Each structure stands twice: as C-alpha cells, then as structure tokens.
Structure 1
C-alpha cells in the first residue's frame, strides 16, 4: 500500500548498560555502557514500522543537516524522505537504562520550532497516497498552510489518521480519526479526572469530536486499550490484550500506522481500531521502540563508540524432519537477542524466478534476517505431484542462499511449515499473494508468540508452472 507519513522526526538514542557501583563524586550509579542504539523517532518511527511491514512509504517532514540528521537518514534507509528546509537542529532524546530500568532522559533541541518550508514533491506525496498518517510532535510541520490544505483535500478521498501533540497544531477538519492518549484528550478537552475510565475518555472524545470536526476520535487508555467515539453513537471500549510492558515508547506510533493501513484496506473503523490496538500490544510485548536495532554502536577499549555488524552468515541444513533446524533456531535467537527482527517465509521455490526474488527482497527489508522454510523433495511431490520438484532441494537451497537477501534456509519434510515455525518463532511471517494476512493458515499460530503475518504483492505472469510449460515447448 502507498502510505504517506506527515510529521516531525526525532532522533532517539538508547544507552544501555549495567551498574554495580556508586560514583565517588556523588551518590549516583555508575553506568558501564554496553551499547548505544540510535533510531528514528516520531514520524520517523511510524515510517520505519510501516516500511518493515512492506508498504511503500513516503515521509513528509523536515530534516536538518547536522550530525543528528546523518544518524536519522541511516535509520530511515529504505524510506523516501521528502523534506522542506529545516529551521532548527535535530531534536534528540537520549534515554539511559540499567538493564530494562530507565534512569534518566536527556532532551536536546526539542523546543518548539518554526514551521518549515514545503515543496511540490511533499504535496504530491500527500495527494497520491492511499492512506495518510499525521504524526505531530509539535515541531511545526503540521502548521505549514500548504500542507494543511493538502491534508484537508486528502481527507476527502482517503483515510487520514491524525496522532496529535499538545504542542502541535489542531487536526484539519474531516480526518477519519484522531488518536490522542487519555492525558492529551483530557487536557485538550479541558475535562477533569485523572482516571482513564470509559466515561471520562468518552466525554473527552465527544468534546474533541465537535472541536476537531473529525469523523471519529480514538482515545487510547494505556494497558486498558482505547475508547472509540464516533458521531451519533456511544463510546465503544476496545480492550487490549494483557501483556507485560517494560517500555511503552512507540505504542501510539504503532497504533496510528496500523489503523491507517487497515482503514486503507477497507476495514470498518471499529474493526480497524481493534486490530490496531492488538498490533500496538504485540509491539510492546516484543520490547517496543527500544527493541528496534537501526544504528548500533558499542564502546571499544578506548571508550570510543564502534558500529556493530551482527548479520549472521548464511546457514543451510538439508536433513528435514527438524534435525537441521538448530542452526536456523540459533540464528533467530542471535538476531532476537541483539534486539533485531526475525523474518521468515516459506515455499517450494522450484525454478526460482523474478517473482520469488521480489518477494524475498521485500521480506528481508522488513527485519534483520530472513530465514526461508523450504519444502523437501518428498513434501513437494505430495503437494505438486510425482513430476515435481524439477530442481532438487540441495540445488534449490543453494540458489536461495546465493541471493543476498536470504540469510538461512531450513528444509522441512512435512506438508505445512507450522511445526518448523513453532521452533523458529519469527517476528514476521511473510507470504506472497493477494489475500489478507489474517487469512493465512499460519496466522493463528504466529499470533501465539506475538508475531505478525504480512503479505506482499503477487506478481502475475511469473510462476514456476509457467516456466515449466515454456521449457517443455522448447525441449
């Protein structure tokens, strides 16, 4: 799906380490830094998450030319950045953690900034989108009059989801849904009460519905989920799955991005909101924004930060019935332990063709490693008939591993990959096709460990059967 994200980008820096002693200068812990991670925050996080889901993303924002901006551009590799001239430095939020426990956060350059300029390319990206997310972080991009006009025009044709900020601009009229958290909604609506009850959230949502002239308001209420307020009806409670959360950072970004995509796919708002809440909960269960590895460094012996390159070497095992799963499992564990995202896909991959290559490249772009679950020769024969496969599993595996986007191949002998998946437990399971992710037979299994199913576009006129028929004519 072609999605445009409009909003302010931030640089998030996570400094993680251990503390076993107090400083002699003051009664404060000394943090021995284990690693430093830099990632795109704000609208950049929304764009990154949706790009990892396989969508065509354009990011309409402002990016400076300082050192922080260079880190941002690396973190946003694969996202089309359409930026106006910035009028301020890159806002940076640095979090220091001991283990999973936050100690302190430093904000640099996060004061309100003047509205940046706008280009024709930025306006064109808004006009051509199939769905739009506005991630307002109070840095001025949504105050630009040309951008506001373009967003109002887009809202007449495609779903626009607006994630507001107390220091930002008010949503343009007519957007599909605005997604404040309860604290933001309470302040904006000037209603009392600290407890995010259904009644309090609904009252705030109804007030803001009239004030913002949106079609709906979805007030998020933390671990309880959200309350959806639409015109002409009572508020609807959307419960969130129970999960243990160490760091809630990024939940709102995940929710807004998923909500826009589901609406763009044609889902009705209540169903789209329920699925977006589930996506946000699953995202937090896997560690939230702090689990995303984009630009990582560790101190060397001299105390200088050195980049980490943790991509595993390709692995292939050809024994079937899971004797060969262990290397694949180890790869998944290694990537996941470093905070990375494990992606898996599966199939016969008989007579590798351009459609396969495109699907595999799209899958690899969604995470930090790609493991291919490959049907064995016996499995292919049971599925395709006695004359298949055309290419042996050894050669199919070797050809797959020759692709730079494939990190490992694991052969399974069953008719379906469920048992293999249950061992690998990927964060994302990718299949090519023109069906919905929830329609995949593996969807319920992958959801057990908080994973997601994603489909990438099917490429017509490119198939193994078509190639086999063509070869038969020239043989």
Structure 2
C-alpha cells in the first residue's frame, strides 16, 4: 500500500453552533438567565469534525475523504462552507434535514444545548464504495444516524484488510467484526456492558479494573481486535478479549478546558497512527496525548484546533516548584502513605534499579505519578542490583541513585529493599496501585499476587522502546563504535 492512499472517515456529520455571550440578569417572565449574544460560530460536528482534525493530523500529503450524508438544507450548506479545504467530500443523499447542535455559552461554559434536525442517509453511490476500497485506514464516526448502517457490508470488507477504527454510539451500530480498535468512552462502555463481572460487586464501578473488564467483554462480544475505553481527564485503557493485562495510558497534562470534540480527536488520531503502521498501543498513546492537547487548547469551540492553522504544542510533564526533602526512611514513607490514604487519595508505587536514569525511566515515573496522588519508588539496593544484573553493577551506587530520583518532581518518596523483588516492602507500604513499564505483563509480575492481598491493583504503563541502561553503558564505554567493548560490560 502506498502512503498516498486516503484516510477515510465514514459517519454522521452534524452542524455544531456555539452562541457566546454574557449574562447579568434574569428574564422577567421566568427565572432563567438572559444572554446578550456577542458572537456566533459554526463548525462541522460529528464525523465532519473528525475529518477536519484528520486533515491537520496527516503529515505526508495523504488525502482525507469524508463519506457522509448531506442535503439541500441550510445546515448542510453551512457544513460545506466551513469544511477545511484538506477534506474531500463524498456525499450520500440526506433524507430530511441535517442535525444541528447549538450550545449557548457564557464565560466559555455551556449554559444550554438545543438539538434539531432528523435527517437520515439514503442509498450510498458507487463513489462511496470505491473510496473504501482505496483507503489506507478508515474511521467510522457513528453518531446514531445510520450512515454506518448504510455501508456496513463495505465496512466489514474493509476491516478484513486494513486498519479500521470504530467510534461507537449507544444508539448506533455495533462495530463490524475485525475492527482494529473500538473507542467507546466510559459512559458508553457502561451502557454496552452495565455489569462487567456479575457477583464481583463491580456494577457501575469507576475503577480501572472495572473499565478494563468492560473493554475486554466488549472486544469479545464484537469480535474486534482491541477496545480503547476513554476516561476523559484520566486517559484511556486499552484491552482485548479475555485480557487480564490492560494497558493504561494516563493523560500528559491535566486541564479544565472544553472537552467538546475530544472523543473525535482521540479516534482520528488513533486511526492516523494505525495508518502509519503503528500498533494499537502506539495509537492509543498518541491519541491520549493529542486529545489532552486538544482540550487544553479550548476543544472544538476554538477554531484554531480544527482549522488548518499552526496549533500550539502540547505541554508535557508536570512542573514542580520548591519542595522539602523527599522521604527516604521507611517510617517517613509509611507516614506519607497514611496521610494520602487518610484523605481518600491513591498511593502509587513502582520499582526498579534505576541505574543510569534514562528517558524511558522518566516517562514511566511521570506517567505513574499521574495515575494517583503520590508516587513511591521501591529501589533495589546495591546488593540486590548485583544479584540481578551481575558483577560490575550497579554503575551508580545507591546514594547517587536516590539523589537522582528524589530530584524528579514526580517522585514523592523512595524506599529501598534488599531482596530480589519488592514483595516484602510492598506488604509494608500497601499501595493502591503498582505499576511497571510496558515490557512486562500483569500476569508475569511476581508482585501482583501480593497486591491482591489488600485489594491493590497492578498496572502496565507505556514504556519508550529502545532505551536501556545496558545499551547506554555500552555506547559510553565504546564511543562511536562500541562493538569491541560491549562484551566486557555486564548486562
């Protein structure tokens, strides 16, 4: 397949309108605010917004095609007028009028929403079917208006030989079997699977474990490769049928921006990542980062987020100001745990040697911290590292490794253990979450059984590939050509 094969978005396009104004008084005839209108904006919504975002996301000149139902009504004409030039429309006849969503906003926040329009697609033409056969990847943006149903046979065929992402709707179609990734949000997943595990007391639960169970059951029910449950400000969970090891991807930054359109941003970013040859894990990681930046920039209500203009870069990490000494003694660490859990917070722990701290370590630690309210690093002692890694390790002694870790804003405490695994230490700390990098699996973690003793949970987080202490040490020892020195270095 060539890089010029198009990204195809199939689904229900809406017209989204935002009415912005101020209010300082109530109406005389009812206790409702009077809004003095200052500005009105119109933009493509639903599948139309996803296509507009796709035109911003592709970077190699690949075409974006939107297959959707449009008619002769004023709302359809407005969508055509505001659609960015990077999107080619392949229209299906619309029976009725295009759905319109109007938000009345005061101080940047929606006050009320008005919906109108009941149009449904007619029979797709040959061009719609042909473009699906030519696609590099397909996103189905299902908003419950039957466009996906009109092309279901063609979408089923497409899912057999190319990446297909399905963004579902409770009133829409079930995803076609074989879809590479399905992206319900947490509320939609609860609608599809109200009780993920009968008898386990998880009905309606908002825990990561419950969301993972729902995603796994949905993947099995639909016969799809993977399900990514989006959790808003918490990030997303990627899982598969009969999977006990969901991948949790936290957001890269917390923001109070407008979330309108974040789901469309997530879905199309994942589809573009899969079109680029990425795995579902990479697609979800990129999608969480893009959706977080999208919300921080003002969501769909900010025209700069979907029109072809320069977008502001997404912020990364969390900044830390001055702080006191990071707890290191076990009694101090336990006091931190008690304080956090007493106020209802989540204690997160991770562990490792952290010898020659590199970018993969830092990403893991930052992401681990974002999953809860404090992060405790369980650090192997020098003797423990030597037993695990061999003579010559650690390269940095314990005191230096502690000093580097405690210099990171994302680390709240460090606890040292001398055994080969931190199970004994974990039984003292009793964290709510235990996280490791993506080169592990939950079922393979010796600490997972210990976590279950007090109701804790083990998670696997994304990990930057290709980073390792051993590789860095070999390059440092051998200079430009490390082949002659690498054999003498411990692994």
Question: 1:1-40 counterparts in 2 under 5 A?
Answer: 2-40=6-44
Correspondence for 2:211 among 186, 201, 206: 201
- Structure 2 residue matching 1:85: 3-state secondary structure: strand
Post-superposition shift, 1:245? 2.5
Partner of 1:378: none
TM-score by length of 2: 0.58
Residue of structure 1 in register with 2:411 after alignment: none
CA contact (8 A) 2:216 2:242 kept: no
1:141 correspondence with 2:147: yes
Structure 1 residue aligned with 2:180, among 169, 176, 184? 176
In 2, Cα distance between equivalents of 1:276 and 1:43: 17
1:90 match: secondary structure:
coil
In the alignment, the residues of structure 2 paired with residue 216 and residue 257 of structure 1 have an alpha-carbon distance, to the nearest angstrom, of 16
Is 1:256 the counterpart of 2:267? The answer is yes
- Asked if 1:210 corresponds to 2:210, the answer is no
The equivalent position to 1:63 in structure 2, one of 63, 67, 70, is: 70
Is 1:158 the counterpart of 2:162 in the alignment? yes
SS of the residue corresponding to residue 31 of structure 1 reads strand
Instruction: Tell me the CA shift for residue 236 of structure 1.
Output: 1.4
1:143: Cα distance to partner? 1.1
- Give the stretch that moved more between structures: 25-34 or 1-10: 25-34
- Computing the radius of gyration from Cα coordinates, the structure with the larger value is 2
Q: Tell me the SS of whatever aligns to 1:162.
A: strand
Distance across 2 between alignment mates of 1:119 and 1:245: 43
Could you tell me how far 1:68 is from its partner in structure 2?
Answer: 0.6
In structure 1, distance between residues paired with 2:305 and 2:229: 29
Q: 1:104 to 1:272 in 2, by over 3 A?
A: same
Q: Does 1:74 align with 2:85?
A: no
Aligned to 1:285: 296
Distance in 2 between the 1:211 and 1:231 partners? Answer: 8
Report the 3-state secondary structure (helix = DSSP H, G, I; strand = E; otherwise coil) of the residue aligned with 2:257: coil
Q: Give me the TM-score of the superposition, normalised by structure 1.
A: 0.60
1:85 to 90, 93, 106: 93
Residue 193 of structure 1 and its aligned partner are, at CA, apart by: 3.4
Q: C-alpha separation between the residues in 1 aligned to 2:138 and 2:206?
A: 28
Instruction: Determine which of 260, 263, 273 is the counterpart of 2:284.
Output: 273
Aligned length: 299
Alpha carbons of 1:193 and 1:291: their partners in 2 closer, same or farther (altered >3 Å)?
Answer: farther
Residues 335-365 of structure 1 show CA distances to partners (whole Å, capped at 9, x for unaligned) of xxxxx369xxxxxxxxxxxxxxxxxxxxxx7
Q: Which residue of 1 aligns with 2:249?
A: 238
1:25 deviates by 2.3
SS at match of 1:60: strand
- Out of 73, 98, 112, the position equivalent to 2:106 is 98
Shift of 1:190: 2.9
Q: CA offsets per residue over residues 415-462 of structure 1, 9 Å max, x none?
A: xxxxxxxxxx8459xxxxxxxxxxxxxxxxxxxxxxxxxxxxxxxxxx
Structure 1 segment 374-385 matched on structure 2, within 5 A = none
Q: Hey, what's the Cα distance between the residues in 1 that align with 2:157 and 2:182?
A: 16
Indicate the SS of the match to 1:10.
strand
Shift of 1:116: 2.3
CA contact (8 A) 2:69 2:120 kept: no
Q: Per-residue deviation at 1:86? A: 1.1
Deviations, residues 143-174 of structure 1 (Å, cap 9, x unaligned): 11xx2121122112211000000110111110
Native 8 Å contact 1:115 1:143 kept in 2? no
Picking from 124, 127, 137, the partner of 2:130 is 124
Aligned twin of 2:421: none
C-alpha separation between the residues in 2 aligned to 1:114 and 1:16? 29
Unaligned runs of 5+ residues in structure 1 are: 293-339, 343-364, 371-424, 429-475
Structure 1 residues 216-246: Cα deviation after superposition (integer angstroms, max 9, x where no partner): 0111111111111124542111111232223
Cα 1:115–1:148, aligned 2, differ >3 Å: closer, same or farther?
same
**Residues 197 and 116 of structure 1: is their aligned pair in 2 closer, same or farther, counting only changes over 3 Å?**
farther
Which secondary structure does the structure 1 equivalent of 2:25 belong to? Answer: coil
The answer as to whether partners of 2:27 and 2:34 remain within 8 angstroms in 1 is yes
Q: Answer whether contact 1:86 1:116 (CA < 8 A) is retained.
A: yes
Structure 2: how far apart are the matches of 1:239 and 1:46? 22
Deviations 1:196-216 (A, max 9, x none): 321111111111111110000
Q: What residue in structure 2 maps to residue 366 of structure 1?
A: 308
Q: Tell me, what secondary structure is at the counterpart of 1:86? A: strand
